[in-house]
């Protein structure tokens, strides 16, 4: 029973990481640094609430979330692919922009700078915490299959082969007739869709949007990507590991055995230990962040 | 080259255009005699249905009954806070109100820089010397502090008496002394009426982000409810919205903070520990107007009606009469000094 509760909580915490990390892997595999994940998630969260509020259904919320993610991805693509701006700088700028923009539109739509009214989500009131309730949320399923599906896309389809080629050696891909920019654009848009769904999960799970509600989850997803060495299945494992550490932290803190500050360190210590060589050498896509 | 020049021209034009726009915030009272009050909000800003809205209410009250002109600024991140305060001080406001402990250093600096402007800071963290004595404040700065531990004591007693479980929960935001006050009072209240009860206290994090992470708040609360907790008191800003969400999901109870948070989860809010931020801000404004403003630390506790808990038509059904009278007796004991409520863990 305790094990089941632990497992379910781990999955609930992991879903936003899994979705955002899937987007991040896609983006980095085509050679664009995924620093804007946090912003895409936040935009997705806001879009989901806006859609669900005005559309009256969580499904419309999902559509709006994806549109918001695509919008942010388009902006990112415009800056990095069209104007060849520094991807790190653009990524950080996008994150800041989305924090401000969501706050601005929150004020415009709901006359509050901090949270939205309650909206429809996927779980009803008093639905409990059982297995059935947890898996009635379609985003949970999406989150669980996102990275395996991405593995299939990247390693088993012509699109995937080209995408990886563009991320490793764009010149070579270009000489073989691959449209590098168009492919990167598609990768970025897919990234925007996936990351925004991660944000939508957070917002619909809370039934409302609150200012900066992603609280750094995009960066944890980014850490999972590096920890997982840009390999979808390893990244999925990393996301689940980070989520399990967080669950452990929540449960340990409840048992009051160790101070909360120490427990808070667990995910970061795990990351550092892993990066220090336990998982072997990390090799990012060769053309990652390169402006040709 | 030409493109660069166009761009530069456009930027200059945009800049000039922006200069004509008055800084953020709106004047809500008509021009006339009376005070000029500036309020700078904490993280969360207006519409948080809690802390900031309390200060907003105080400002509105001053606008209505003192004919004050009130201006609000909602800072974005970090350095904007100091800039917001400075802007208001430089404009010669009569009173500048900073909402939140996070302004402590900025407001202290500015109070020294602008001795003619009066400052008030809600939850100002008074610095102490090496012996633990509070350091003196500038004469134009009043620190509005609340005995949150006293209100928390009462809701703790309520949670133990009306919760129906030997386990009661607490979810804090950032793990700092200000929030420990809530936990300490709550814990003492629980233990006073139920010595063999257990308090499960958890914090959402160690950075200010911990006040705006509802996802984390929900998971903390869910794990507490699963351990057999029936009532959770939160002191965690918008992180607490996740606690209410967890209460809805599991059908249990939560206790709100700062303002009446009944509407966050109707039927699942046992009560709210309220802070009279509105009254404190209004009093400060009134003191400035009548010329009775004195700098220093002002503390609002149960005796001053600065803290309390909600008991109205919404939650009367959840609180038996016997419990209500027990709470009234405890309140009287605290005011009379027969019960000393701890403010540290």
Query: Domain containing B134 — which CATH number?
Result: 3.40.50.2300
Residue in chain B lying closest to A6 (CA):
B223
Q: Are residues B40 and B68 in the same domain?
A: yes
Q: Are residues B139 and B222 in the same domain?
A: no
| Interface test mutation site (partner B, options A20, A198, A210, max chain B beta carbons within 10 A) | A210
Q: Are residues B58 and B141 in the same domain?
A: yes
Q: Are residues B187 and B292 in the same domain?
A: no
Q: Are residues B195 and B250 in the same domain?
A: yes
Cβ distance of A126 and B202 shorter than 8 Å:
no
User: In chain A, which residues have their Cβ closer than 8 Å to the Cβ of B248?
Assistant: 125-126
- Note whether residue B2 is domain-resident: no
Q: Which two tokens stand for residue A168?
A: 């490793």
Cβ distance of A253 and B203 shorter than 8 Å:
yes
Of residues B74, B200, B241, nearest to A113 (C-beta): B74
Cβ distance of B205 and A264 shorter than 8 Å:
yes
- Note whether residue B4 is domain-resident: no
Considering only residues 211 to 230 of chain B, which have any Cβ-Cβ distance to chain A shorter than 8 Å? Answer: 212-216, 218-220, 222-224, 226-227
| Interface test mutation site (partner B, options A48, A114, A209, max chain B beta carbons within 10 A) | A114
In order of their start, the domains of chain A are: 2-122+132-278 (1.10.3470.10)
Whether chain A has a CB inside 8 Å of the CB on B24: the answer is: no
Cβ distance of A213 and B214 shorter than 8 Å:
yes
- Note whether residue B12 is domain-resident: no
Domain span holding position B88: 26-146+277-300
- Note whether residue B14 is domain-resident: no
Q: Are residues B202 and B250 in the same domain?
A: yes
Q: 0.80 exceeded by the pTM?
A: yes
Q: What ipTM was assigned to the predicted interfaces of this complex?
A: 0.90
CA of B140 vs chain A CAs: smallest distance (Å): 30
Q: Are residues B34 and B125 in the same domain?
A: yes
Q: Are residues B34 and B102 in the same domain?
A: yes
For chain B, give the secondary structure using H, E and C. Answer: CHHHHHHHHHHHHHHHHHHHCCCCCCCCCCCCCCCEEEEECCCCCCCCCCHHHHHHHHHHHHHHHCCCEEEEECCCCCHHHHHHHHHHHHCCCCEEEEECHHHHHHHHHHHHHCCCCEEEEECCCCCECCCCCECCCCCCEEEEEECHHHHHHHHHHHHHHHCCCCEEEEEEEECCHHHHHHHHHHHHHHHHHCCCCEEEEEEEECCHHHHCCHHHHHHHHHHHHHCCCCEEEEECCCHHHHHHHHHHHHCCEEEEEECCCHHHCCCCEEEEEEECHHHHHHHHHHHHHHCCCCCEEEEECCCCCCEEECCCCCCHHHCCHHHHHHHHHHHHHHHHCCCCCCCCC
- Note whether residue B305 is domain-resident: no
Q: What pLDDT tens digit does each residue of chain B (345 aa) get?
A: 566 666 666 666 666 555 544 444 444 444 456 789 999 988 767 777 778 888 999 999 999 988 889 998 887 666 678 888 999 999 989 999 999 888 999 999 999 999 999 999 999 988 887 777 888 889 999 999 999 999 999 999 999 999 989 999 999 999 888 899 999 999 999 999 999 999 999 999 888 889 889 999 999 999 999 999 999 999 998 899 999 999 999 999 999 999 899 999 999 999 999 999 999 999 999 999 998 999 989 999 999 989 999 999 999 999 999 999 999 999 999 999 999 999 888
Cβ distance of A211 and B227 shorter than 8 Å:
no
Residue in chain A lying closest to B227 (CA):
A254
Tally of domains within chain B: 2
- Note whether residue B320 is domain-resident: yes
Cβ distance of B219 and A206 shorter than 8 Å:
no
Of residues B44, B205, B215, nearest to A206 (C-beta): B215
Cβ distance of A215 and B216 shorter than 8 Å:
yes
- Note whether residue B20 is domain-resident: no
| Interface test mutation site (partner A, options B43, B47, B72, B234, max chain A beta carbons within 10 A) | B47
Q: Are residues B38 and B104 in the same domain?
A: yes
Q: Are residues B224 and B281 in the same domain?
A: no
- Note whether residue B15 is domain-resident: no
Q: Are residues B176 and B320 in the same domain?
A: yes
Q: Are residues B327 and B234 in the same domain?
A: yes
């Amino acid at each position: 029973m305790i094990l089941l509760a632990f497992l379910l909580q781990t999955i609930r915490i992991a879903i936003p990481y899994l979705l955002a990390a899937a987007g991040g892997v896609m983006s980095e595999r085509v050679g664009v640094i995924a620093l804007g994940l946090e912003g895409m998630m936040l935009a997705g969260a806001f879009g989901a609430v806006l859609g669900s509020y005005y559309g009256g259904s969580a499904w419309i919320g999902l559509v709006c979330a994806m549109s918001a993610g695509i919008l942010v991805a388009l902006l990112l693509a415009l800056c990095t692919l069209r104007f060849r701006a520094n991807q790190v700088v653009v990524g950080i700028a996008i994150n800041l922009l989305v924090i401000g923009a969501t706050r601005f539109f929150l004020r415009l739509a709901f006359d509050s700078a901090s949270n939205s009214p309650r909206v429809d989500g996927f779980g009803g009131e008093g639905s409990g915490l059982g297995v059935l309730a947890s898996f009635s949320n379609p985003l949970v399923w999406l989150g669980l299959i996102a990275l395996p599906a991405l593995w299939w896309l990247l390693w088993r389809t012509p699109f995937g082969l080209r995408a990886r080629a563009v991320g490793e050696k764009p010149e070579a891909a270009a000489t073989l007739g691959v449209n590098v920019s168009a492919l990167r654009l598609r990768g970025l848009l897919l990234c925007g869709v996936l990351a925004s769904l991660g944000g939508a999960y957070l917002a619909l799970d809370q039934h409302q949007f609150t200012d900066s509600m992603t609280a750094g989850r995009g960066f944890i997803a980014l850490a999972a990507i590096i920890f997982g060495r840009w390999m979808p299945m390893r990244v999925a494992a990393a996301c689940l590991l980070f989520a399990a550490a967080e669950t452990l932290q929540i449960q340990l803190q409840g048992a009051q055995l160790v101070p909360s500050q120490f427990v808070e360190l667990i995910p970061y210590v795990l990351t550092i230990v892993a990066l220090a060589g336990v998982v072997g050498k990390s090799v990012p896509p060769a053309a990652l962040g390169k402006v040709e | 080259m030409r493109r660069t020049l166009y761009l530069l021209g456009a930027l200059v034009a945009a800049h000039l255009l922006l200069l004509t726009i008055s800084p953020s915030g709106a004047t809500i009272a008509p021009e006339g005699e009376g005070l000029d009050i500036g309020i700078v909000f904490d993280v969360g800003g207006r519409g948080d249905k809690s802390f900031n809205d309390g200060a907003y209410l105080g400002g509105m009250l001053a606008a209505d009954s003192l004919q004050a002109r009130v201006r609000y600024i909602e800072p974005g991140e970090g350095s904007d806070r100091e800039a917001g305060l400075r802007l208001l001080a430089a404009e010669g406001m009569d009173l500048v109100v900073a909402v939140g402990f996070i302004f402590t250093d900025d407001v202290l600096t500015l109070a020294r820089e602008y001795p003619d402007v009066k400052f008030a800071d809600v939850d100002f963290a008074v610095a102490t010397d090496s012996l633990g004595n509070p350091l003196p404040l500038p004469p134009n700065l009043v620190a509005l502090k609340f005995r949150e531990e006293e209100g928390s004591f009462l809701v703790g007693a309520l949670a133990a008496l009306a919760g129906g479980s030997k386990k009661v929960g607490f979810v804090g935001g950032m793990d700092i002394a200000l929030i420990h006050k809530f936990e300490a009072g709550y814990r003492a209240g629980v233990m006073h009426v139920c010595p063999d009860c257990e308090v499960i206290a958890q914090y959402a994090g160690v950075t200010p982000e911990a006040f705006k992470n509802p996802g984390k708040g929900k998971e903390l609360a869910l794990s507490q409810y699963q351990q057999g907790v029936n009532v959770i008191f939160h002191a965690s800003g918008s992180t607490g919205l996740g606690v209410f969400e967890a209460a809805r999901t599991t059908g249990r109870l939560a206790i709100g903070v700062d303002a009446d948070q009944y509407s966050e989860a109707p039927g699942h809010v046992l009560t709210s520990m309220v802070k009279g931020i509105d009254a404190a801000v209004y009093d400060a404004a009134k003191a400035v107007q009548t010329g009775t403003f004195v700098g220093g630390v002002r503390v609002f506790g149960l005796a001053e009606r600065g803290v309390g808990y909600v008991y109205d038509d919404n939650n009367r059904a959840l609180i038996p009469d016997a419990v209500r009278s027990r709470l009234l007796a405890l309140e009287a004991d605290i005011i009379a000094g027969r019960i000393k409520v701890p403010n540290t863990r």
